[in-house]
Structure 1
Amino acid sequence: MARNLTTIGFDADDTLWQNERFFRLTQERFAALLKDYADGDHLHDRLLAAERRNLGHYGFGIKGFTLSMIETAIEVTDQQVPASVISELIAAGQEMLQHPIELLPHAREAVEEIAASHRVLLITKGDLLDQERKLAQSGLGDLFDGVEIVSAKTRTVYEDIFTRHGNGAAEAMMVGNSLRSDVKPAIEAGGWGVHVPHHLTWEVEHDEPPENAPRYRAIDDLGALASLVNEIG
């Protein structure tokens, strides 16, 4: 019998494991280091602007975030930032790159259950070495039929991945916490997009849900994914 779904793609950060929480903790450390130069809200806005500005140079991930913190520190101090502060920011970035992985609720069970009946892919963006490290530490690596670490998630990227690893986007589903990166472009490619919200989402990933899209779904957590996949067929 023909099936509507043959391939399920999973986002990684803040879908399968914690990520944004560590960025927020580091931002608090950043604000504390520079409290004599600017208040927290101003620093947040300046850092976010630097991150947006630098995405085209550094891409997504901790290394680009660290460089954006350093750039912001130089800007808000009129190039007077102490070397000790720069050193602390570098150390903070290095600590983030070494932080143990914390799986989100139902992550392992969801991937295991789906992998028993469908082709499963990990599709994530960010720094290659860091994403490989997190996948290895997660203990989920052997469950995936393919892993794609990309610089951006767009309609054409999903079309390519689901064609190379499956039967095309029409028989594929993408599951993730970002409406902008995981859900909308997957639907635009012709697949299903499932939003699994995380209580912390980077502002750059904010977007409005595509409520009128027939292939859009939202679930509270990954514990509801297997039933949704079975329902679609």
Structure 2
Amino acid sequence: MTPKSFVSTLAATELPSVFNPWRDRCTVHDRSDAAARRRDNLEMLLTAALDHRVETIWIARDLGYRGGRRTGVPLTDEIHLGHAGTLMGGIAFERATQGPAVAERTAAIVWRVLERIGQPVMLWNVFPFHPHEADDPMSNRCHTRSEREATWPILQALVSMIRPRQIVAIGRDAHLALDGLDIPTTAVRHPSYGGQREFIEGMFSLYGVADDNDEPLELPLGAPHAAARRCALA
């Protein structure tokens, strides 16, 4: 599978109470061509990952409404699109939304660590879309087992395309859900809900980066990202 065919497969998927950023358009925040911009962003990310022969995929649980739902780049909010483009070799990612750029707590911490590590990685989620409550499209919820099973071939296709040597599961839920993959998986604490320091220390340890133990990261205001909430996914 090529980056283009992979993105096309993603864009063809439709599930209830799920926002597919590479297919759907938010009538409140998105530009008219938002889904196409996000498809372009992801295709460029995948192409760069193959060009750089990345050896690791970092996988969290679901897309959040403040991050990948808006950008089309997993674990990346609009504040860090430029950082992502630089790390992946100078990609010019485009914003798909209108108004001020929106920050996400998890993305802020992930990109703090990636900038220190200085190595390109592929970022993904067990469930590649944004699951939300039926009456609240801007909420986060845990994906269900049936939703994960419906999209599992997408994850398998990504792994087959990237061929990583290692997968890093971000959070307990992601680690449990990835049990079926035939690739070594290392778990680190999710950075939300008090896990920031453990996440940073775990990643620095994996990559042999000295922890400078500097001042705590200034996080965007608002409710914590709901991706750390534990769910019955097994």
Q: Which has the higher relative contact order, 1 or 2, with Cα contacts under 8 A spaced 6 or more apart?
A: 1
Pair member with larger Rg: 1
On whether the aligned pair clears a TM of 0.5, the verdict is: no
